[in-house]
Structure 1
Amino acid sequence: MLRIIRISSLLLLALVAGIWGYAWTTKGPNETLGEAFAARLAGVFGQEMAVPSAGGGGMQMPGGISLGGAFELVDQTGKAVTERDYAGRWLLVYFGFTYCPDICPTELGTMAAAIDLLGPEGEAVTPLLITIDPARDTPAALADYVPRFHPRLQGLTGTPEQIAAVARRYRVYYARAQRPDMTDYLMDHSSFIYLVGPDGRVRSLFRPEMTPEQIAAAVGGQMRAAVRAGS
């Protein structure tokens, strides 16, 4: 039995390494390595997600793909929170970190602008930043960071194990990246914005190149469709 477990582990490691290499060689010009890896991984272990059209509706979740779910984290005030604290609300969720030099601030700004563009509808949407760098992103660090983007943006952190658990539920790729020319480290990570419905499940994903107008239109459409469907 132990031999079978070892062989299975080696095969899994070889598969993941192969997917990483494939993502490296096939990633698009506007696609980060983390996004490429996450997309190729989803294609192997789940179901390939359709790329959104130029009109912008986000990636709709196909049948058989379920993202989101339970988590146990801590918000920027130091309060322990779970998915139950957000039950019944729409969420825009982004996985990033406060030391991120470029894409995280850009995407958080886009997310905040989209919520403001929704007008009164935006009051029903809670924006969340879930860190993938819990070693540095303490509640105090998040409390200083999140108000820079939106007054209602909440920052969530936790233990490395808690972050890993919620990242798995959302199929988020992240890894520490130490560059030779830098004394500090960065985090390589996938960079989707997740629209989460009142049931706690992801309804759409938005790629980095989408505008606040596109995201706002897609979120508003999902919210109105849910009202018509009674969910």
Structure 2
Amino acid sequence: MASACNCLAGVARSARASPALRVPFRTSARRTFVSSHSSSPAVSLRIAGRNDTACASKSRKLGLQEGRRARSLHEQIKSFSSSTPRQKLKTIEQVRARNKGGPFNVTAAILFVATAGALWAYFTYEKERMARKRIADQTKGMGKPKVGGPFDLIDQDGNRFTSDDMLGKYSLVYFGFTHCPDICPDELDKMALMYDKVVEKCGDVLLPIMVTCDPARDNPKVLKEYLQEFHPKFIGLTGDYEAIKQTCKAYRVYFSTPPSVKPGQDYLVDHSIYFYLMDPEGDFVEAIGRNFTADQAAKVISDHIKDWEGPLKKKDRWA
């Protein structure tokens, strides 16, 4: 019994001698008993001494093994963070070095913001593009066109001009008259700005057309002199009264002249005030009203032109 107590005491001393030992260990349940039949007490004492020595040796081995294991675990934990502790950072260089090595730093923040901005711009552009496509699809004629259609008129040079001459390019069509005191000049000035901005962005793919609502006074010569004041690329169209009436009806344009006008008497023509954007296939795309500025209207037209996936024919006549 004394031998077992000595063995336990030796294990305890070994555990205290090893500071790295932090885990409990199981003591050996093996005990040594002195036989009652031993021939002599000296033999019993020698056996007990040997048992004490074996227990002490075994406890030292266990202590060394557990110590090495604890030191290895401590080194592994330490290796997870090799950066300088925050309380030891004293210079800006140390702070920058720490931030540079971490996953969340200035570079990562800039990349995150740039990626988010690019995604936002992309989805905003796609949303606007789909809205334009929806407008174009809704207004595109099925069978008989909702807005626009065939016509046969005369341009400012006295040449025949039909709706087929508009094919292959976008067309911006305006209805007015040369004797208009204020509205038509303002809108034609805007039309000139719109045309120049679109050509600058998209090239020569737009026909600026003015159709007169007053064929009685607006012959080709009058139209040519009048439109030269606004832009040399403007195309003026006129014809007889019935041809103009049918063209206005096809484009859903309202116009009205006084019922009783004497020869030589001045008068005004009431008419719709819109720019009609037509695509290269002759289909109506969008109506641009007076609420649009020249920049806004040019952007709308340019966006529709950029969305166009078919060919844009540049006829020699209008190049």
**Superposition TM-score, scaled by structure 2 size:** 0.50
- Structure 1 contact 178–184 (Cα < 8 Å) conserved: no
- Structure 1 contact 76–154 (Cα < 8 Å) conserved: yes
1:204 equivalent in structure 2: 286
The answer to whether structure 1 residue 89 and structure 2 residue 156 are counterparts is no
1:222 equivalent in structure 2: 304
Bigger radius of gyration, 1 or 2?
2
RMSD in angstroms over aligned alpha carbons?
2.3
1:170 equivalent in structure 2: 251
2:228 equivalent in structure 1: 147
How many Å separate the matches in 2 of 1:203 and 1:122?
A: 19
2:269 equivalent in structure 1: 187
- Structure 1 contact 60–205 (Cα < 8 Å) conserved: no
Q: 1:211 to 1:172 in 2, by over 3 A?
A: same
The answer to whether structure 1 residue 102 and structure 2 residue 185 are counterparts is no
Q: 1:105 to 1:178 in 2, by over 3 A?
A: farther
- Structure 1 contact 194–206 (Cα < 8 Å) conserved: yes
1:134-191 Cα offsets, whole Å, 9 max, x none, are 0000001001011111111010000100001110110000001489xxx511000010
How many Å separate the matches in 2 of 1:230 and 1:184?
A: 46
**Helix, strand or coil for the counterpart of 1:145?**
helix
After TM superposition, give the deviation of residue 90 of structure 1 in Å: 0.8
Superposed, 1:1-231 pairs within 5 Å as 60=135, 62=138, 66-118=146-198, 119-177=200-258, 183-227=265-309
After TM superposition, give the deviation of residue 66 of structure 1 in Å: 2.0
1:4-61 Cα offsets, whole Å, 9 max, x none, are xxxxxxxxxxxxxxxxxxxxxxxxxxxxxxxxxxxxxxxxxxxxxxxxxxxxx8x945
Q: 1:120 to 1:214 in 2, by over 3 A?
A: closer
**Helix, strand or coil for the counterpart of 2:299?**
helix
How many Å separate the matches in 2 of 1:98 and 1:190?
A: 15
Amino acid at match of 2:292: M
Compare relative contact order (CA 8 Å, sep 6+) and give the higher one, 1 or 2: 1
- Structure 2 contact 168–311 (Cα < 8 Å) conserved: no
After TM superposition, give the deviation of residue 79 of structure 1 in Å: 0.5
How many Å separate the matches in 1 of 2:271 and 2:227?
A: 19
After TM superposition, give the deviation of residue 100 of structure 1 in Å: 0.5
1:8 equivalent in structure 2: none
Number of aligned residue pairs: give it.
171
**Helix, strand or coil for the counterpart of 1:171?**
coil
**Helix, strand or coil for the counterpart of 2:185?**
helix
After TM superposition, give the deviation of residue 122 of structure 1 in Å: 4.7
**Helix, strand or coil for the counterpart of 1:165?**
helix
How many Å separate the matches in 1 of 2:259 and 2:161?
A: 31
How many Å separate the matches in 1 of 2:153 and 2:234?
A: 15
Report the identity percentage: 39
After TM superposition, give the deviation of residue 123 of structure 1 in Å: 1.6
1:112-145 Cα offsets, whole Å, 9 max, x none, are 1011112052521110000000000000100101
Structure 2 unaligned segments of length 5 or more: list them.
1-131, 313-319
Amino acid at match of 1:175: S
How many Å separate the matches in 1 of 2:148 and 2:245?
A: 13
**Superposition TM-score, scaled by structure 1 size:** 0.69
How many Å separate the matches in 2 of 1:80 and 1:230?
A: 25
How many Å separate the matches in 2 of 1:200 and 1:67?
A: 10
Q: 1:215 to 1:170 in 2, by over 3 A?
A: same
How many Å separate the matches in 2 of 1:122 and 1:110?
A: 19
- Structure 2 contact 173–209 (Cα < 8 Å) conserved: yes
